[in-house]
Structure 1
Amino acid sequence: MAEQIVKTEYSEVMQKSYIDYSMSVITARALPDARDGLKPVQRRVLYAMDQLGLNYDKPHRKSARIVGDTMGKYHPHGDSSIYETLVVLSQDFKKGMALVDGHGNFGSIEGDGAAAMRYTEAKLKKFTQDVYLADLDKNVVDFVPNFDETEKEPAVLPVRVPNLLVNGADGIAVGMTTNIPTHNLGEVVDAVCAYMDNEEITTKELMQYCIGPDFPTGGIVINKSELEQIYETGNGKIKLRGKVEFEPAAKRSERDKLVITEIPYTMIGANIGKFISDVVDLIETKKITDVVDISNASSKEGIRIVLELKKNADVEYLKNVLYKKTKLEDTFGVNMLAIVDGRPETLGLKQIIKHHIDFQYEIATRKYTTLLNKELDNKEIKEGLIKACDIIDLIIEILRGSKNLKMAKDCLVNGNTEDIQFKSEASKKQAAGLNFTERQAQAILEMRLYKLIGLEILALQKEYEECLEKIAKYERILGSKKEMAKVIKADLLKIKKEYALPRKTQIEDAKAVVLEEKKVQEQEVMFIMDRFGYAKTIDMSAYERNKEAVHNENRYVFSCMNTDKICIFTDNGSLHQIKVLDIPFTRFRDKGTPIDNLGNYDSSGENILYLTPFEQLKGKKMLFMTKLGMAKLVDTSEFEVSKRTVAATKLQEDDLLVGIYVTDAVKEVFSRFSLDGEVKEEEMIVSSQHVIVQTADGYFLRFPLSDVPEKKKGAVGVRAIKLTGKDTVEDVYLLTQGDELTIEYRGKNVDFARLKMAHRDTKGTKIRV
């Protein structure tokens, strides 16, 4: 066959392919069905377990076998996703009602992973069998071909409770996500029954039965007043808190304790470890000072995170800090998105229950139709057998006189007596009047002789009466929506009675945490940092006792208030700010902490040019000089920012700062007369200081600081010196008028006082060596 090239627009092919992929992920992978509340992989795992016969009263089976059957028959998307689904279905700290009974290591609430599938075993829970998989043999749901059309699988499971609410759901599709909280089984059943009694019921009225989410980890929902809006729209944020209890010391040798017994649902997994780490950070940074130790004493019995307290600790303040500064108070983003009739749709509480009830009516209709048809068939057979018992002698005569089974059956159904030997003409005439149905005739031919015993005939008549009662019952249910509703409600109430658990999550309207930071007692401290970058603050008295050693052993030494900030200006034009309170306050001989660990400063990529407390900069102007000769003055008010790191100046490509100075420059206003006699005011920089710029090629330029204009920190600046070739600025000095300063330059003394005064943006004087 000759090849045929199809020309098409590339963008159209990509668009169609991506839309097809997106819809596949949305409808067949990531989002649950509104009817059974299950994602395809969950449904397939449960069905595969049911087909393997892993009933609650049977032994556990290796998880690898379950995963293999699921992947080979129904879900060809990789074993890891299937096993992860199996694990989650067994975790009672993630699901409102766990559906799988796991045996072995199936992970923990603290984020520990499950053992490999070859080590663990699983089977179905009784709840799952009774509520999720019952009646699959009664044609209650459609079965569809699997991926290779070698097996059949249910399009949806006949779940009898709103699983979308009971177990919640989470999933990330393409361009959309779902996140539905878990709810209490008993409350959900009550809400469903209330809806069935009154389909015009409002969301607010439904919430009298289902008052809000019920998370398996307990905790407290603190925005009760917002829940109605969330359940009305299917979107919103639920605010959660862990439960904290105060345990006073039982003995004098013990300490008072603050114990976390329940955590927010969002904290399960690695976030428990992060919470403990955050508390440790709060202790180390002295945000909380009343906690002496923290330990995790959680076990199978439940969560127990213990904070040991100092005597007379402020418990309420500690609780507020934990709620404000850690994940002990968190938000659960609700987005109740599910697949409805093949399309994703955001559902409110009432809509979820409505779709569930519609599904239940459909299941019940199909179930009782199947049962009715079965009983009608049974009735037909029973009627035939009873009639046969009344004329059993004739039946036996027909059987003995027939040459084969076909001849006997034809006589029973059509009254055909040809070639059949009868004892008398009366029998033959009676046989000719027989008109059993095909099914009745087959049942008569298969009937055993012991059925002719008197008691067996009575039992047959009793079964027939029971069959008639069942037919009447099924016809009554199918003929009246009200009767069907009664059956569905009775079923739900039975499930509630057997499986419902007490509510775990409290729901209330709590006050928002207002954390009033404890005022720090202001005091003067001495900041010191050695040449290796280890910084600390020490008491002033310790400094006075060790003054000589402090200055000999450290690169930076200055006093500051403990409420101040340390400003670090680096050669790449950055300003890093560190609160003095974040710097460890220690004894003089203690090592301190690397300055890199206290802020965003990175010693491997930038060098410190200037380090000072911010209070000493207030009201001043700073001179910035770069390697490419750009200079400017910046008012220090520009650096009053809340960010820990900002750009102190803008640099050109391949440029670096070589010098930063705090100057005596001020801005003064001068008045002058213009030619037309008007008085005009002008701002000018006034300073008694001079700038000396030194280049790598030996040029020195001295000019008044007042020549340098004031700019914003985001400006590049102006040219301070004309550079030739590849010459660069090597150093810069700031000299107050009248001061004398001599430096050694390549073995020759350079007296700055003897350098002639010039102007900015000139070449300067070459020093010959």
Structure 2
Amino acid sequence: MAKQLNLLSGGQIVSTALHAEMQQSYLEYAMSVIVGRALPDVRDGLKPVHRRILYAMHELGLTPDRPYRKCARVVGDVLGKYHPHGDQAVYDALVRMVQSFSSRYPLLAGHGNFGSIDNDPAAAMRYTETRLAPLGNEGLLTHIGEATVDFTSNFDNSQQEPVVLPAQLPTLLLNGSSGIAVGMATNIPPHNLGEIVDGLVALIDRPDLSDEKLFQLIPGPDFPTGGEIIGLNGIKDAYQTGRGSITVRGVVRVEEIQTGRTRRSMRTALIITEFPFQVSKSSWIEKLAHLVNQGKIDGISDIRDESDREGIRVVIELKREAKPQKVLKQIYRQTPLQTNFGAILLALVDNQPVQLSLRDALQHFLDFRERTLVRQYRHELEKLEARRHLLSGLLQALDRLDAVIDLLRNAPDGTTAKMELQNRCEFSEAQAGAILAMPMRRLTGMERQNLQQEFDELTQRGEVLQRLLGDRHELMKSLKKDLRALKRKFGDKRLTRIVDADGTIQSEAPKERSSKTGEKTSTPISASIPLDLEPQAEDTVIELTHRGYVRRLSTKDAQKANGNAVETPQVLENGEDFTLQQVATRTDRDLLMLTHDGKAYAAKAGEIAKATGRNTRGQPLVSLLPPSAQGDPEAIATQLVLTEEVKRQQFVLLTDRGRIKRLPLSEFENLTARGLTVLKLKGDDRLDYVELTRDDSDAVVATTGGRLLRLPIDDEQLPVLGRTAQGYQAVRLRKTERIAGLSVASESDELVLVTRQGRIKRLPANLLRQGRRGEIGTQALQFANKTDELMGVLRVETGADLVVVTSGDRVVRFSLYRFEVSGKDGTGVRPRVLKSKETVISIALCLPVGGE
């Protein structure tokens, strides 16, 4: 077979390993994408498609002073001559060079529909028209030719195209660039032309300029859509290392707007006048409306878009009780009105991808511009010397006019005359040819004067060029002069304001337009919102109620409430809510919530709604869960504030079917919105009971039959298990029994038992013998009625009261010390405050104020 292949191919067959061939082929493909498509060149800041579009338009003569030409004609020329790819890709690149909201300094001018900031697409190329913008024509295409930049053959060797355009400004930084190559990407933000020119001039004058001085001249990106940059760290990282995350916000102001004819119709509104770069206005409004309808953002009554040709104006009308800064924080957190621009200053340097600092990018451009100027001046000097040489011959011929005419009159033909001029008059071949081609009008006095004037001007210009080429200092002075001239012609004011993280304005942008009503617009509040969107941590008190509500109080309000003594028994009628627990903590602490389906979620204490008065009910605890976990209003099995002391403890988890396990709280560090699985559940089992371990304590498991099993919390009976473990069977249940409760107690503690029919009993924990997993436990309660059953077991804590929720929709609070301690044989006492046919639905402890 090998011989046959050799015969057919007429050459030698070389065996190659598959992995080596794949590596080589993929490397070649990757480099073709990197160099020929995805990354810009550091010299002119353009990708090949943009460079070819501009050069094709230059060849078509579409200068700013010429009429617009159909984009389809431009795209056709680009495809046919230079860029053999899809027409839509070329047109999309052309459109972006026209859009003022995509490019800080558009290189092309357009006529027709080229899209909008609302993400509207551009019209088809057969409808739109384009030509070169003044900056694109003068800044990139002036002096283009083989004398200034290198040219190469196109894809079919039928045309020559420039390898790079003779850019006079660093387009890479002015308009930025974005692209995804193979294994790498670039995302360069746009900048202000005036600031970039100032930085270039400073580097020319002082190549050793410090980074601090350079960053003062170029404080940060300048996006075409304006906005605000919050914080300087991301900018410094990007400028020093070539990679950084820059936080960008829209510009928001607060206005009092009138929605009716009376003064009571005045409403507070957030007015958005600028959006972050590359954020679609219409898509953002749609997302905000969706979040408001879902209840994820509170305090907004209406959203409307009042944008027109004068600029952007999105009005967010607030409810009367809403606070603008609080609403704005929610908007920043949940919408792209605040977004991070991931800056990656990656560009091609000598056809190799290099991650650049700001100084590197500027210096590479200066080096390229210097080389371009040298080639341009050298070419100009060569042309000037050739013309000056011809003029010198013409002037000499005019000085010896009679001799020249006599020579020409006697010459038999032009060739002989040319030879005679060279031999007898000592003219060069080029001069002799010019004399022979000189028209008779050159013999007039005026023409002679014009020739002499042109000769003198060329002589002066030649001296200047010689000085520029011979003295680098003079060359750099000329470069600075050109840069300053371009700044005066095309420079403009900064659009993006830069604000330090503490609110200090580092670089101001122009004032925004006034409101629709003609009133003076108020100061923007967007920059006053802290960068991390988190308020300063402060002391606070969290209250949890028996109906599953949570609210946050100031420390002062909580102290006032605790100063009022409560007489027991206390009865609340008609479903009134009752505070079970107060926890003193800080707003930056986490509230951990475990749900019945075995998952854990966390919410910052500062995210809990702050109560404005003692009568404020608060918010449902379940509302702090992510939307996917909010289906069941009673989804939460337990909750606690993660203080430093609590984090060092462990959980004992018990399910409805009696599976028990121990889990350290260190597993709950850095919880995400997706939550964390704490227990693997099978079938319709659910997590019902969660307790914290204590030193030298046991886990007490109660059944509805009045039995208690006391298990030591050690590595033998309750070993620490992983999060996804199911746990062990804690107690053996009879057919009619269920799990009634879980408590963690030591030998010196007391337990309180409550039955469904309202009998309450205190029992010393040391009366229960320690057992092993799977045992039946100890009978700790005798039932006065055979239909009664145990509802739960709680550990008696100092200062804590017992709270009982009854079937009559009443909440009764008892002092635990009114019930006497009894042995295992007692039936307990039924308080008189309970009505005759009233039963117990649930029990809980009203805990004293606890915290850090």
TM bracket (short chain): 0.7 to 0.9
- CA-CA distance at 1:331 after TM superposition: 2.1
The structure 2 residue matched to 1:362, chosen from 360, 365, 371, is: 371
Cα deviations across residues 161-191 of structure 1 (Å, max 9, x unaligned)? 1212211122222222222211110111111
Name the CA distance, whole Å, in 1 between partners of 2:601 and 2:181: 41
- CA-CA distance at 1:232 after TM superposition: 2.5
What residue number does 2:397 align with? Answer: 388
The structure 2 residue matched to 1:459, chosen from 447, 450, 465, is: 450
The structure 2 residue matched to 1:514, chosen from 508, 531, 534, is: 534
The structure 2 residue matched to 1:49, chosen from 51, 54, 57, is: 57
Partner SS, residue 246 of structure 2: strand
Mean CA deviation greater in 311-320 or 34-43: 311-320
Task: Confirm whether residue 263 of structure 1 aligns to residue 269 of structure 2.
Answer: no
Cα deviations across residues 134-163 of structure 1 (Å, max 9, x unaligned)? 001371101111122111111111110121
Aligned Cα root-mean-square deviation (Å) = 4.5
Unmatched 5+ stretches in structure 2: 1-6, 503-529, 549-572, 583-590, 609-622, 642-650, 712-716, 741-752, 757-772, 776-852
Contact 1:297–1:305 (Cα < 8 Å) also in 2: yes
Unmatched 5+ stretches in structure 1: 415-432, 528-543, 548-557, 583-594, 626-630, 670-680, 692-702, 722-730, 741-758, 762-769
Counterpart residue type for residue 153 of structure 2: P
Counterpart residue type for residue 454 of structure 2: E
**Aligned positions of 1:251-400 closer than 5 A:** 252=263, 253-265=265-277, 268-270=278-280, 273-274=283-284, 277-278=287-288, 280-281=290-291, 284-285=294-295, 287-289=297-299, 291-311=300-320, 313-400=322-409
Q: 1:462 to 1:65 in 2, by over 3 A?
A: same
Task: Confirm whether residue 118 of structure 1 aligns to residue 146 of structure 2.
Answer: no
Q: 1:311 to 1:569 in 2, by over 3 A?
A: closer
Q: 1:525 to 1:58 in 2, by over 3 A?
A: farther
Counterpart residue type for residue 680 of structure 2: K
Partner SS, residue 216 of structure 2: coil
- CA-CA distance at 1:434 after TM superposition: 1.9
The structure 1 residue matched to 2:112, chosen from 104, 109, 114, is: 104
Name the CA distance, whole Å, in 1 between partners of 2:378 and 2:692: 96
What residue number does 1:443 align with? Answer: 434
What residue number does 1:600 align with? Answer: 628
Name the CA distance, whole Å, in 2 between partners of 1:56 and 1:144: 27
State the TM-score, normalized to the length of structure 1: 0.73
Name the CA distance, whole Å, in 2 between partners of 1:62 and 1:138: 28
Q: 1:492 to 1:644 in 2, by over 3 A?
A: closer
- CA-CA distance at 1:42 after TM superposition: 1.3
Counterpart residue type for residue 714 of structure 1: T
Q: 1:490 to 1:33 in 2, by over 3 A?
A: same
Identity of aligned residues (%): 36
Mean CA deviation greater in 610-619 or 146-155: 610-619
Mean CA deviation greater in 328-337 or 515-524: 515-524
**Aligned positions of 1:49-68 closer than 5 A:** 49-68=57-76
Contact 1:28–1:40 (Cα < 8 Å) also in 2: yes
What residue number does 1:586 align with? Answer: none
- CA-CA distance at 1:131 after TM superposition: 0.8
Q: 1:441 to 1:242 in 2, by over 3 A?
A: same
Mean CA deviation greater in 635-644 or 60-69: 635-644
Task: Confirm whether residue 734 of structure 1 aligns to residue 738 of structure 2.
Answer: yes
**Aligned positions of 1:296-695 closer than 5 A:** 296-311=305-320, 313-414=322-423, 433-511=424-502, 512=530, 513-515=533-535, 569=596, 599-600=627-628, 612-615=635-638, 622-623=654-655, 632-633=659-660, 645-647=675-677, 649-650=679-680, 656-660=682-686, 662=688, 686-689=701-704
Name the CA distance, whole Å, in 2 between partners of 1:160 and 1:339: 18
The structure 2 residue matched to 1:2, chosen from 5, 8, 27, is: 8
Partner SS, residue 657 of structure 1: coil
Name the CA distance, whole Å, in 2 between partners of 1:325 and 1:41: 37
Partner SS, residue 114 of structure 2: coil
Contact 1:255–1:308 (Cα < 8 Å) also in 2: yes
Counterpart residue type for residue 115 of structure 2: G
Name the CA distance, whole Å, in 1 between partners of 2:691 and 2:202: 79
The structure 2 residue matched to 1:210, chosen from 218, 222, 242, is: 218
Contact 1:186–1:496 (Cα < 8 Å) also in 2: yes
Mean CA deviation greater in 385-394 or 473-482: 385-394
Contact 2:637–2:689 (Cα < 8 Å) also in 1: no
Contact 2:388–2:459 (Cα < 8 Å) also in 1: yes
The structure 2 residue matched to 1:89, chosen from 93, 97, 116, is: 97
The structure 2 residue matched to 1:162, chosen from 160, 170, 189, is: 170
Name the CA distance, whole Å, in 1 between partners of 2:237 and 2:659: 57
Partner SS, residue 149 of structure 1: coil
What residue number does 1:750 align with? Answer: none
Partner SS, residue 38 of structure 1: coil
Name the CA distance, whole Å, in 1 between partners of 2:273 and 2:217: 27
Cα deviations across residues 273-316 of structure 1 (Å, max 9, x unaligned)? 23652465257426432x21122223343222211123464233
What residue number does 2:846 align with? Answer: none
The structure 2 residue matched to 1:193, chosen from 179, 197, 201, is: 201
Q: 1:617 to 1:151 in 2, by over 3 A?
A: closer
Cα deviations across residues 236-263 of structure 1 (Å, max 9, x unaligned)? 2222222211122357344232111122
Partner SS, residue 321 of structure 1: helix
Mean CA deviation greater in 493-502 or 75-84: 75-84
Name the CA distance, whole Å, in 2 between partners of 1:376 and 1:715: 90
Counterpart residue type for residue 128 of structure 1: G
Counterpart residue type for residue 455 of structure 2: Y
Contact 2:652–2:660 (Cα < 8 Å) also in 1: no
Name the CA distance, whole Å, in 1 between partners of 2:690 and 2:500: 58
What residue number does 1:22 align with? Answer: 30
What residue number does 1:540 align with? Answer: none
Contact 1:624–1:660 (Cα < 8 Å) also in 2: yes
- CA-CA distance at 1:86 after TM superposition: 0.8
Q: 1:367 to 1:321 in 2, by over 3 A?
A: same
Partner SS, residue 74 of structure 2: helix
Mean CA deviation greater in 248-257 or 174-183: 248-257
Contact 2:703–2:737 (Cα < 8 Å) also in 1: no
Name the CA distance, whole Å, in 2 between partners of 1:719 and 1:710: 10
- CA-CA distance at 1:10 after TM superposition: 1.1
Contact 1:690–1:735 (Cα < 8 Å) also in 2: no
Name the CA distance, whole Å, in 1 between partners of 2:373 and 2:302: 59
**Aligned positions of 1:200-239 closer than 5 A:** 200-224=208-232, 227-239=235-247
Mean CA deviation greater in 477-486 or 389-398: 389-398
Name the CA distance, whole Å, in 1 between partners of 2:284 and 2:535: 21
Contact 2:637–2:690 (Cα < 8 Å) also in 1: no
Name the CA distance, whole Å, in 1 between partners of 2:344 and 2:257: 44
Q: 1:760 to 1:12 in 2, by over 3 A?
A: same
Cα deviations across residues 548-583 of structure 1 (Å, max 9, x unaligned)? xxxxxxxxxx9999999997656xx8789999x99x
What residue number does 2:725 align with? Answer: 715
Counterpart residue type for residue 724 of structure 2: G
Task: Confirm whether residue 38 of structure 1 aligns to residue 46 of structure 2.
Answer: yes
Cα deviations across residues 678-724 of structure 1 (Å, max 9, x unaligned)? xxx99676544479xxxxxxxxxxx99999x8685622456899xxx
- CA-CA distance at 1:65 after TM superposition: 2.0
Partner SS, residue 140 of structure 1: coil
Name the CA distance, whole Å, in 2 between partners of 1:379 and 1:408: 22
Q: 1:686 to 1:135 in 2, by over 3 A?
A: closer
- CA-CA distance at 1:647 after TM superposition: 3.8
Partner SS, residue 292 of structure 1: strand
